[in-house]
Amino acid sequence: MNCRHCETPLRHPFLDLGHAPPSNAYLTDADLHRPERYYPLRLWVCERCWLVQTEDYADAGELFDADYAYFSSTSSSWLAHARSYAECMRETLSLGAGSLVIEVASNDGYLLRNFVAVGVPCLGIEPTASTADAAECLGIPVLREFFGEALGHRLAEEGRQADLLLGNNVFAHVPDINDFSRGLKAALKPDGTLTLEFPHLLRLIELVQFDTVYHEHFSYLSLYSAQRILEAAGLRIHDVEELGTHGGSLRIHASHPDDSRGVSGAVAAILQAEEQAGLRDLATYQSFQARADRLKDDLLGFLLEQKRAGRRVAAYGAAAKGNTILNYAGIKPDLLPCVFDAAPSKQGKYLPGSHVPIRPPQALDEVRPELLLILPWNIADEVMAQNERIRQWGGRFVTAVPRLEVK
């Protein structure tokens, strides 16, 4: 396999999580009686551009199908994050009735609804029918397509270039990141602004966030690798923000090379921090597997201990990251009898691979777990606040990343 960006042959493994099913391929009762798809889940690092990437097996059409079950609006903290961003960008860029905001991978309209509410024209691009339907119910026009260079040029030819072009947690999800980036270039107005949010590889390595690895995440990005990719497509990063979302993310601000805006000092500062942390040193990547294995072993040992002690254990959040860690650890319903999740699209189904049943949060009062493992640890504070009542029967919360912790 060659690097997705620079075509350099990939020779250095970063992480091998064995074989796993697609992380959002939730199962029905009928599915439990059929064969389940599994693919190798391995990461490699490119020694030239330092892009970390999955080994090629699954394609995007299989991962993002019509029944895609991830709805962004399920998380109240993510809704607040999107609302704050929309307000800030509207004021900073003076967006109004004559502007156009385009979001790539607009999901269920969780973000664009904020622009609709204040009369700013917008367009969502979303290939999954389930989430596109939800967005259209909010009055958001949606193109049901995968985004790439061809679509970017078509939008430009139709006079629909964006004043603000954005993509939250999509840059890492595209199999052809060069084609995607050229599409961004084409769809952006000459004086437009592009923002992209993605989990920061630096935080993944520092905090052993190996459970954020799954087939839908084709790329794992540092600022250094993102800058190289966008520059090759004819775009320039002029600012960057560090965010707390998803365990530590970057929001890059980019524009065309002839844009008059200067480059923020934050760009050089984060590039320097990445270099100091060893993100351009092979030894950093070669030591990661052992760190991930220790974390996995700690969780498995903890659950075995609770089973022997006869304690009631359950999980909260049927999240993709949870599926990664459960499948890698070989955890099944004998150790984790159920998981609670607020998304109606997941309730009544089963986690892929582990086959742990998904129940609505109201069932917490029936199960009354003594220990509640929060699988989406990035929103642990939100989950604990919403389910504080488990402490009435002596229940406690557990997180497994970046370390096993009982709260």
Tens of pLDDT, residues 312-347: 999 999 999 999 999 999 999 999 999 999 999 899
d(CA 204, CA 207): 6
- pLDDT computed for residue 267 by the predictor: 98
Domain boundary, last residue among 219, 250, 276: 276
- The reply to whether 262 and 372 lie within a common domain is no
- The reply to whether 121 and 214 lie within a common domain is yes
- The reply to whether 226 and 90 lie within a common domain is yes
Tens of pLDDT, residues 119-131: 999 999 999 888 8
Q: Is 365 among the domain residues?
A: yes
> Looking at the 3D structure of the chain, how many domains does it have?
3
d(CA 20, CA 276): 33
Contacts of 394 (CB under 8 A, 6+ apart): 370
CB burial of residue 404 (10 Å; 0-12, 13-18, 19+): middle
Which token pair is 169?
């947690």
Residue in 97, 105, 156, 180 with CA at minimum distance from that of residue 135: 105
Contacts of 34 (CB under 8 A, 6+ apart): none
Beta-bridge partners for 374: 316
State mean pLDDT over 99-116.
95
- pLDDT computed for residue 200 by the predictor: 98
- pLDDT computed for residue 74 by the predictor: 65
- The reply to whether 212 and 158 lie within a common domain is yes
Cα Rg, the chain, nearest whole Å: 21
- The reply to whether 92 and 142 lie within a common domain is yes
State mean pLDDT over 297-315.
98
- pLDDT computed for residue 150 by the predictor: 98
d(CA 267, CA 238): 7
State mean pLDDT over 102-123.
95
- pLDDT computed for residue 72 by the predictor: 61
State mean pLDDT over 17-44.
94
Tens of pLDDT, residues 151-163: 999 999 999 999 9
- The reply to whether 147 and 187 lie within a common domain is yes
Q: What is the dihedral of CA 31, 34, 40, 43, to 10 degrees?
A: 0
- The reply to whether 108 and 159 lie within a common domain is yes
Q: Is 4 among the domain residues?
A: no
d(CA 296, CA 301): 9
State mean pLDDT over 277-296.
97
- The reply to whether 133 and 260 lie within a common domain is yes
Q: Is 222 among the domain residues?
A: yes
Domain boundary, last residue among 228, 245, 276: 276
Chain centroid to Cα 405, Å, comes to 23
- The reply to whether 89 and 61 lie within a common domain is no
How far, in Å, are 89, 165, 263, 294 from residue 181 at the CA level? 21, 12, 20, 37
Tens of pLDDT, residues 40-83: 999 999 999 999 999 976 555 555 554 544 566 667 788 999 99
Instruction: Tell me which range, 24-28, 70-74, 261-265, is most confidently predicted by mean pLDDT.
Output: 261-265
**DSSP H helices in 55-123:** 60-63, 76-93, 112-117
- pLDDT computed for residue 61 by the predictor: 56
Q: Is 31 among the domain residues?
A: yes
- pLDDT computed for residue 75 by the predictor: 72
Which token pair is 20?
């796993």
Exposure string of 155-176, with b = 16+ CB inside 10 Å and e = fewer, is: bbeeeebbbbbbbbbbbbbbbb
- The reply to whether 154 and 263 lie within a common domain is yes
Tens of pLDDT, residues 361-404: 999 999 999 999 999 999 999 999 999 999 999 999 999 999 99
* Domain containing residue 379: CATH number: 3.40.50.720
- pLDDT computed for residue 245 by the predictor: 87
CB 68 within 8 Å of CB 128: yes
How far, in Å, are 121, 153, 155, 389 from residue 158 at the CA level? 15, 9, 5, 54
Q: Is 283 among the domain residues?
A: no
pLDDT band for 91, please (50, 70, 90 cuts). very high
Q: Is 281 among the domain residues?
A: no
CB 120 within 8 Å of CB 99: yes
pTM of the model: 0.91
Q: What are phi and psi of 24, to 5 degrees?
A: -110, 20
Question: What is the helix (H) or strand (E) element at residue 267, kind and residue range?
Answer: helix 265-276
d(CA 210, CA 228): 24
Full residue range of the structural domain in which residue 32 is found: 12-65
State mean pLDDT over 90-113.
96
Q: Is 3 among the domain residues?
A: no
Residue in 357, 351, 321 with CA at minimum distance from that of residue 337: 357
Mean pLDDT of the chain: 94
* Domain containing residue 160: CATH number: 3.40.50.150
- pLDDT computed for residue 24 by the predictor: 84
What is 271-327 written as a DSSP string?
HHHHHHTTTT-HHHHHTHHHHHHHHHHHHHHHHHHHHHHT--EEEE---HHHHHHHH
pLDDT band for 145, please (50, 70, 90 cuts). very high
Q: Is 197 among the domain residues?
A: yes
- The reply to whether 225 and 161 lie within a common domain is yes
State mean pLDDT over 212-229.
96
- The reply to whether 252 and 354 lie within a common domain is no
